[in-house]
């Protein structure tokens, strides 16, 4: 299950308050406690963040959430998607979507610079002071990046993202997952650089699929949609295929053979999706480690074994890189504070519930989301 850092939850709450939304009721809507989101080390499910954003959209009737001088009525983004889904290529859809918003508002100015190999997406906010913490710029980038990936049926390969502000050390680690590419801060402008070959690909989605995608928005912008068929998702599912034993992370050669290809071919496909075999493994390890620490009394050494580390201190070093805390510090700090639902749930291979979870609160789906991985077994060698 995808997770988001406390920063994005807190900034969503602050935006809601500026728009006159009752933040206490908003947090109650998704079973959150303010003391959790105020802690910079806390993480929550991306589903809950999506539910909060959608709630703000509907209450304020403003998809810009007060970050622009004039609002965008709820449904504006959906209308744009309806306009672009029939285009012959991702590049054409991208350009038409930008044209739609440039006609709709002067508060956001966008353009595409087309090069022989790359396409540069430029974004300028007319009043950037309304987005002092850069929350909405990062959200806006994420919207377009995920939309292009969804339309093409594969995670769009990003080459570079530039930000016109200093590196936000508090949550900069999050960018590795939001925008898997090189990041440049203190840049002169806000841009995303795409591989033009990819943007020449056709749209693979139908209008019928668009209705489902929009019905759970903005969930699709906060995590890779479950039904995007790509090798990142396939490899992740393969590694998590059997949850009843210690996680085994085989050599890349073995994984590649499972998909009837060579290791170099699979490595190239993952690179095209802006990731790597190592990155997939570390993403799995991080989320399972947090789930195990917060939902039980499993020892740190046992969690290390479960995740396939050859020694506990290697796991502890990795965990500090993810959270800035040791595993025991993290457990003492968070265990028992929020009763489960607001905390990270188990990592699992994609299941049918994610796309069926409507950000309005569905008890059955939320119960399924709480299901944990039951794992036990022996230590696995760390892959090279």
CB 271: neighbour CB atoms within 10 A? 12
What distance in Å separates the CA atoms of residue 189 and residue 324, rounded to the nearest whole number? 30
DSSP conformation class of 71: -
Peptide bond into 218 cis (omega under 30): yes
Per-residue confidence at 110, pLDDT binned at 50, 70, 90?
very high
Q: Angle, nearest 10°, between helix axes 327-334 and 277-294? A: 50
| Whether pLDDT at 251 is above 80 | yes
How do residues 282-294 score in pLDDT, each as one tens digit? Answer: 888 887 888 888 8
Per-residue confidence at 211, pLDDT binned at 50, 70, 90?
confident
Where do the DSSP E strands lie in the chain? Answer: 3-5, 43-45, 108-114, 118-125, 158-162, 182-184, 190-195
How do residues 154-200 score in pLDDT, each as one tens digit? Answer: 788 899 999 999 999 989 888 988 898 999 999 999 999 999 999 99
What distance in Å separates the CA atoms of residue 87 and residue 92, rounded to the nearest whole number? 6
How do residues 301-352 score in pLDDT, each as one tens digit? Answer: 999 988 888 899 999 999 988 888 899 988 887 765 544 333 333 333 333 3
| Whether pLDDT at 107 is above 90 | yes
pTM, 2 dp: 0.64
- 349: its two tokens: 């291979």
* Mean pLDDT rounded to a whole number for the chain: 82
How do residues 32-69 score in pLDDT, each as one tens digit? Answer: 988 888 888 898 888 899 999 999 999 999 999 999 99
């Amino acid at each position: 299950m995808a997770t988001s850092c406390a920063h994005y939850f807190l900034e969503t709450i602050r935006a809601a308050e500026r728009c006159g939304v009752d933040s206490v009721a908003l947090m109650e809507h998704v079973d959150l406690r303010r003391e959790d989101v105020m802690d910079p080390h806390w993480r929550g499910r991306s589903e809950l963040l999506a539910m909060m954003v959608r709630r703000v959209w509907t209450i304020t009737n403003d998809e810009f959430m007060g970050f622009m001088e004039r609002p965008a009525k709820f449904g504006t983004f959906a209308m744009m998607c309806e306009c672009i889904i029939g285009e012959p290529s991702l590049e054409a859809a991208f350009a038409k979507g930008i044209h739609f918003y440039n006609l709709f508002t002067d508060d956001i100015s966008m353009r595409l610079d087309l090069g022989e190999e790359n396409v540069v997406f430029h974004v300028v906010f007319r009043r950037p002071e309304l987005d002092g913490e850069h929350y909405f710029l990062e959200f806006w980038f994420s919207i377009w990046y995920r939309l292009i990936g969804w339309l093409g049926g594969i995670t769009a390969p990003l080459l570079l993202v530039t930000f016109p502000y200093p590196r936000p050390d508090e949550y900069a680690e999050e960018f590795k997952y939001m925008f898997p590419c090189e990041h440049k801060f203190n840049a002169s402008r806000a841009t995303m650089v795409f591989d033009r070959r990819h943007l020449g690909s056709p749209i693979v989605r139908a209008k019928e699929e668009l209705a489902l995608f929009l019905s759970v928005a903005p969930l699709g912008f906060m995590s890779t949609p479950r039904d995007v068929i790509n090798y990142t998702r396939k490899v992740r599912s393969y590694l998590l295929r059997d949850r009843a034993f210690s996680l085994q992370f085989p050599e890349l050669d073995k994984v590649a053979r499972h998909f009837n290809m060579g290791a170099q071919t699979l490595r190239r496909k993952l690179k095209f999706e802006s990731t790597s075999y190592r990155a997939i493994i570390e993403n799995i390890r991080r989320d399972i480690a947090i789930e195990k620490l917060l939902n039980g009394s499993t020892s740190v050494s046992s969690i290390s074994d479960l995740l396939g580390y050859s020694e506990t201190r290697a796991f502890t070093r990795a965990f500090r890189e993810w959270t800035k805390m040791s595993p025991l510090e993290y457990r003492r700090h968070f265990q028992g504070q929020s009763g489960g639902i607001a905390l990270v749930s188990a990592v699992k291979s994609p299941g049918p519930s994610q796309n069926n979870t409507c950000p309005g609160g569905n008890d059955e789906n939320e119960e399924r989301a709480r299901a944990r991985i039951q794992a036990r077994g022996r230590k696995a060698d760390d892959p090279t």
